[in-house]
């Protein structure tokens, strides 16, 4: 047995000794892993990968030789994304090209993201459980051969993006395309074991519907972790084009509290890849990526693209790197990379004190959201129909609710607050309305008792997509009624009386939100300890409105409260002379003194928070003082000299 163990030890030493000798970022950070939702170094330090994505190998101006990647690194990039197009190049994956790129990045100490660059189709679109032809043809050979190659080289710098932008080819709002997500989940059950066989603890990025914008699916119905790929580090992709997609940026910001996300493709242009470079909107995206999001997640990114295609999203204007003909987009990214780490996080202060005593039902004042403004206390996006004159990049938002428009509620801030009952504003709940994809909002409350609490929401009778998450202190805040953590964190808010898309906005009632994929889960909000907490609502779809929010108190906490009060018992001096002593209690109490034989030698009452002076002529000895009140029975030992 000792001989076998020795051989195993020698084998491990041999393998470690033959691991690839990296330089650069890979040498510093090692094998990447997830700690919670955060991408981290091998030692657990939060990190951010940032760099460029290549164009496809079929496009001659994508700059894909070793010296091109070296120039990319010299600009400050620690990541190169290798886009293996599936639809172009006669639908034949160029595996040798990807291997070369993997080798080049290894030699330079850069991380390498291998991207299976699917575009319009989704993996099960042809009605087959596991596609064998069409645009998804060859994925199994592609990942098997490349992961085997990575294993043979002892590489630890490769990340895998298994399906870029899987979609039904039509426009629409996020959360409409859950059938696409169902197909992606089926696909992952096939491709993830292939990668895990050779690269078992690699970071794998899963594409999401709506051109990688509907990350809602990732926490509404998460990828199931199978035994064959239990150690893979699963993340979810988000794509963003700053020129015309600011309306979706909040989805990324809100989802960061619930799932690990990776901006595997983004550009300063519009989503077509052209139409100029919007640096102001790009600044906003980078702010979110650098930690200013609901989850405080530092998010990695790859800019589109390291090419001179002649589009405004390209890094070069033509003529290549050697002539330093960087485009406006290219120069913007160079500036970001040269700044290095520039992280910042949400900072808020309470608008007013809101206290949940843990005993009585607590009604959250929805108008009392935290102070701090956009990207700190909330993320608000207003369409032109809600705030006339606003544009697609949200440069002229407003408070579209009645409280803002009619009553100038909280001037200078613009989350959309109104009234459930406009005719009785003084007694009406304040409600959140005009809710679009990706809006979120934060409140601070003082929680007196830790615990898991039931909750309800006040909903109208108008049907919408109504998908949202609840975060506590910037992290997923829900557990099951059995106290178990759950990865199913997205909730659906039903209509109050079974209404439909033509339902009434003026009819409201209390409802219990649920997960559409698993309605059997009974949810609770968890406050792990007493004290000040933030509670946030992340609205991941359009929403008919939130009229109020109630956290149900637990009457048992009243007993606990009384027990705590009962601990405020003081008896002094002790020992005492002749049985004279002082006594103070936290609750009104009956007091009895017993001698060693069990006979009661005194009985009386003491008022709460007052000191009673009790003078007894007692013989020397040990006596028991009983204090009886709502908190129960407490016995103190009294020594008489």
Ordered domains of the chain (ranges, CATH): 2-51+111-300 (3.20.20.80), 355-554 (2.60.120.260), 567-640 (2.60.40.3080)
Helix extents (H) in 466-587: 556-566
Asked if residue 255 has pLDDT above 60, the reply is yes
Confidence of residue 63 (pLDDT cuts 50, 70, 90): confident
Asked if residue 440 has pLDDT above 70, the reply is yes
Beta bridge partners of 546: 432
Using DSSP bridges, classify how beta strands 362-364 and 548-551 pair: parallel, antiparallel or unpaired. Answer: antiparallel
- Least confident span in 48-62, 469-483, 523-537: 48-62
Asked if residue 13 has pLDDT above 80, the reply is no
> Does the predicted model carry a pTM greater than 0.85?
yes
| Strand stretches in 407-542, DSSP E | 417-419, 430-432, 439-447, 451-453, 455-460, 467-472, 475-476, 478-480, 490-492, 508-511, 523-527, 531-539
28, 70, 75, 165: which one is catalytic?
165
Residue 383 appears among annotated catalytic residues: no
Share of residues in the chain with pLDDT > 90 (%): 71
* Residue range 66-89: mean pLDDT, rounded: 91
Asked if residue 2 has pLDDT above 60, the reply is no
Cis omega (within 30 of 0) for bond into 168: no
28, 42, 224, 265: which one is catalytic?
265
Asked if residue 210 has pLDDT above 90, the reply is no
Those residues whose C-beta lies under 8 Å from the C-beta of residue 130, and which sit 6 or more positions away, are 186, 187, 190
Residue 426 appears among annotated catalytic residues: no
Model pLDDT for residues 371-383, shown as the tens digit of each residue: 999 999 999 999 9
Asked if residue 135 has pLDDT above 60, the reply is no
Those residues whose C-beta lies under 8 Å from the C-beta of residue 178, and which sit 6 or more positions away, are 209, 217, 220, 221
Angstrom CA distances, 573 to 166, 205, 579, 628, 637, stand at 77, 68, 10, 21, 12
User: Which pair of structure tokens corresponds to residue 531?
Assistant: 């004290």
User: Which pair of structure tokens corresponds to residue 377?
Assistant: 């206390």
CA gap 416, 54 in Å, rounded = 41
The pLDDT assigned to 24 comes to 96
DSSP class per residue in 70-124: HHHHHTT--EEEEEEESSSGGG---HHHHHHHHHHHHHHT-EEEEEEE--S--TT
The pLDDT assigned to 91 comes to 62
Angstrom CA distances, 528 to 453, 456, 514, stand at 11, 20, 22
CA gap 241, 303 in Å, rounded = 10
User: Which pair of structure tokens corresponds to residue 308?
Assistant: 């001179």
Model pLDDT for residues 137-158, shown as the tens digit of each residue: 578 889 999 999 999 999 999 9
* Higher per-residue confidence, 622 vs 377: 377
User: Which pair of structure tokens corresponds to residue 295?
Assistant: 């989850």
Please answer whether residues 34 and 299 qualify as being in contact, where contact means their C-beta atoms are separated by less than 8 angstroms.
no
Please answer whether residues 71 and 330 qualify as being in contact, where contact means their C-beta atoms are separated by less than 8 angstroms.
no
Asked if residue 15 has pLDDT above 50, the reply is no
* Residue range 612-637: mean pLDDT, rounded: 89
Asked if residue 6 has pLDDT above 70, the reply is no
* Higher per-residue confidence, 254 vs 587: 254
Across the chain, what does the average pLDDT equal? 90
Model pLDDT for residues 523-562, shown as the tens digit of each residue: 999 999 989 999 999 999 999 999 999 999 999 998 878 7
Asked if residue 126 has pLDDT above 50, the reply is no
Asked if residue 455 has pLDDT above 60, the reply is yes
């Amino acid at each position: 047995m000792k001989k076998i163990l020795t051989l195993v030890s020698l084998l491990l030493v041999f393998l470690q000794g033959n691991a690839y000798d990296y330089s650069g970022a890979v040498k510093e950070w090692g094998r990447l892993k997830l700690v919670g939702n955060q991408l981290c170094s091998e030692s657990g330090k939060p990190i951010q990968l940032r760099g460029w994505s290549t164009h496809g190998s079929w496009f001659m101006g994508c700059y894909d030789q070793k010296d091109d990647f070296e120039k990319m690194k010299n600009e400050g990039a620690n990541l190169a994304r290798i886009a293996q197009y599936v639809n172009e190049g006669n639908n034949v994956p160029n595996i040798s090209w990807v291997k070369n790129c993997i080798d080049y990045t290894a030699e330079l100490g850069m991380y390498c993201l291998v991207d299976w660059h699917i575009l319009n189709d989704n993996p099960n679109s042809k009605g087959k459980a596991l596609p064998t032809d069409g645009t998804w043809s060859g994925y199994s050979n592609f990942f098997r051969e490349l992961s085997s190659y990575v294993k043979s080289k002892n590489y630890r710098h490769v990340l895998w993006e298994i399906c870029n932008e899987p979609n039904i080819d039509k426009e629409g709002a996020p959360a409409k395309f859950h059938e696409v997500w169902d197909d992606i989940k089926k696909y992952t059950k096939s491709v993830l074991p292939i990668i895990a066989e050779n690269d078992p603890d690699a970071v794998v990025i899963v594409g999401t519907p709506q051109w990688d914008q509907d990350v809602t699916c990732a926490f509404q119905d998460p990828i199931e972790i199978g035994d064959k790929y239990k150690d893979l580090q699963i993340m979810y992709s988000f794509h963003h084009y700053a020129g015309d997609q600011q309306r979706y940026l909040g989805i990324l910001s809100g989802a960061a509290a619930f799932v690990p996300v990776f901006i595997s493709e983004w550009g300063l242009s519009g989503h077509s890849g052209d139409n100029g470079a919007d640096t102001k909107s790009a600044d906003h995206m980078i702010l979110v990526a650098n930690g200013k999001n609901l989850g405080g997640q530092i998010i990695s990114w790859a800019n589109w693209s390291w090419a001179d295609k002649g589009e405004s999203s390209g890094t070069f204007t033509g003529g290549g790197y050697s002539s330093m003909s960087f485009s406006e987009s290219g120069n913007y990214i160079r500036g970001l990379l040269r700044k290095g780490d520039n992280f910042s996080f949400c900072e808020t202060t309470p608008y007013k004190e809101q206290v949940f005593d843990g005993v009585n039902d607590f009604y959250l004042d929805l108008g009392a959201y935290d102070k701090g403004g956009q990207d700190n206390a909330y993320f608000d996006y207003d369409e032109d129909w809600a705030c006339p004159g606003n544009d697609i990049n949200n440069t002229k938002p407003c408070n579209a609710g009645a409280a803002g428009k009619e009553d100038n509620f909280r001037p200078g801030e613009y989350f959309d607050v109104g009234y459930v009952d406009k005719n009785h504003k003084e007694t009406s709940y304040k409600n959140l309305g005009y809710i679009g994809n990706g809006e979120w909002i934060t409140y601070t409350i003082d929680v007196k008792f830790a615990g898991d609490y039931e909750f309800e929401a006040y909903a109208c009778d108008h049907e919408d997509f109504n998908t949202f998450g609840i975060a506590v202190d910037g992290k997923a805040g829900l557990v099951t009624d059995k106290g178990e953590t759950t990865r199913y964190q997205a909730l659906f808010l039903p209509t109050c009386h079974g209404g439909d898309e033509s339902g009434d906005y003026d009819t409201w009632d209390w409802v219990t939100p649920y997960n559409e994929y698993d309605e059997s889960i009974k949810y609770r909000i968890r406050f792990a300890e007493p004290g000040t907490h933030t509670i946030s609502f992340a609205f991941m779809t359009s929403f008919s409105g939130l009229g109020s929010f109630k956290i149900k108190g637990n009457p048992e906490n009243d007993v606990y409260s009384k027990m705590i009060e009962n601990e405020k018992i003081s008896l002094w001096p002790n020992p005492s002379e002749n049985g004279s002593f002082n006594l103070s209690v936290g609750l009104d109490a009956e007091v009895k003194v017993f001698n060693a034989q069990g006979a009661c030698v005194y009985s009386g009452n003491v008022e709460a928070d007052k000191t009673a002076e009790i003078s007894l002529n007692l013989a020397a000895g040990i006596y028991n003082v009983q204090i009886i009140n709502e908190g129960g029975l407490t016995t103190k030992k009294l020594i008489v000299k």
